[in-house]
Amino acid sequence: MNKTSGNDAQPAAARCSDECGGGDTMAPLPRREFLALALLGSAVILAACGSGDTGSSNASGDPVAPIPYRYGTWRMHNAEVSWRTIQPTQGNYVGSGSDRAAMMLDWTQFDARLQEAYDAGISVAFSAWLTPAWASRPADQVGGSNTVFGPWTVVGESAVPQKSQYVYDFVLSVLQRANSSVRRLKYLETLNEPEFLSAQQLADYLAEGGRPFWTGTAVQAVAYAAAAWKAAQDFNDSVPADRRVTVLCPAQYDIDRLSAFLTAQDPVSGRFGHQTFDWMNIHPYTAVPNKALGGEDLYYAGGSRIGVAACTRALAALGLPPRPVAVTEWGLNTELTDAQVVAFAELPVAERRTYIARTLAMAALDGVALFTIFSGTQLAGDYDNDTAGVIAAVTDVHTKLAGQTIVAGGYRSDGSVTVTLASGSTLVW
Q: Note the pLDDT tens digit of each residue in 377-409.
A: 899 999 989 999 999 999 999 989 988 899 999
Which distant-in-sequence residues (6+ apart) come within 8 Å of 429 by Cβ?
Answer: 354, 357, 358, 361, 396, 397, 416, 417, 419
Q: What is the mean pLDDT of residues 209-230?
A: 97
**pLDDT of amino acid 51:** 32
Q: Give pLDDT, residue 53.
A: 42
Tell me, what's the pLDDT at 402?
85
Q: Is the pLDDT of residue 47 over 90?
A: no
Quick one: pLDDT at residue 376?
74
Average pLDDT for 176-193 = 96
Taking residues 203-215, report their average pLDDT: 96
Is the pLDDT higher at 49 or at 215? 215
At residue 1, the pLDDT reads: 53
Query: What pLDDT digit, counting tens, does each position of 128-173 carry?
Result: 999 999 999 999 999 999 999 999 999 999 999 999 999 999 999 9
Which of 272, 238, 328 lies closest to 1, judged by CA?
Answer: 328
Write down the pLDDT at residue 22: 29
Q: What is the 3-state secondary structure (H, E, C) of the chain?
A: CCCCCCCCCCCCCEECCCCCCCCCCCCCCCCEEEECCCCCCCEEEECCCCCCEEEEECCCCCCCCCCCCCCCEEEECCHHHCHHHHCCECCCCCCCCCCHHHCECCCHHHHHHHHHHHHCCCEEEEEECCCCHHHECHHHCCCCCCCCECCCCCECCCCCECCHHHHHHHHHHHHHHHHCCCCCCCEEEECECCCCCCHHHHHHHHHCCCCCCCCCCHHHHHHHHHHHHHHHHHHHCCCCHHHCCEEECCEECCHHHHHHHHHCECCCCCCEHHHCCCEEEECCCCCECCHHHCCCECCCCCCCCCCHHHHHHHHHCCCCCCCCEEECCCCCCCCCCCHHHHHHHCCCHHHHHHHHHHHHHHHHHCCEEEEEEECCCCECECCCCCCCCHHHHHHHHHHHHCCCEEEEEEECCCCCEEEEECCCCEEEC
User: What is the residue-averaged pLDDT of the chain?
Assistant: 84
Choice among 22-36, 143-157, 289-303 with the minimum mean pLDDT: 22-36
pLDDT at 72: 82
| Banded model confidence at residue 304, pLDDT cuts 50, 70, 90 | low
Average pLDDT of the segment spanning 214-228: 98
Q: What is the mean pLDDT of residues 90-116?
A: 96
- Provide the pLDDT for residue 426: 96
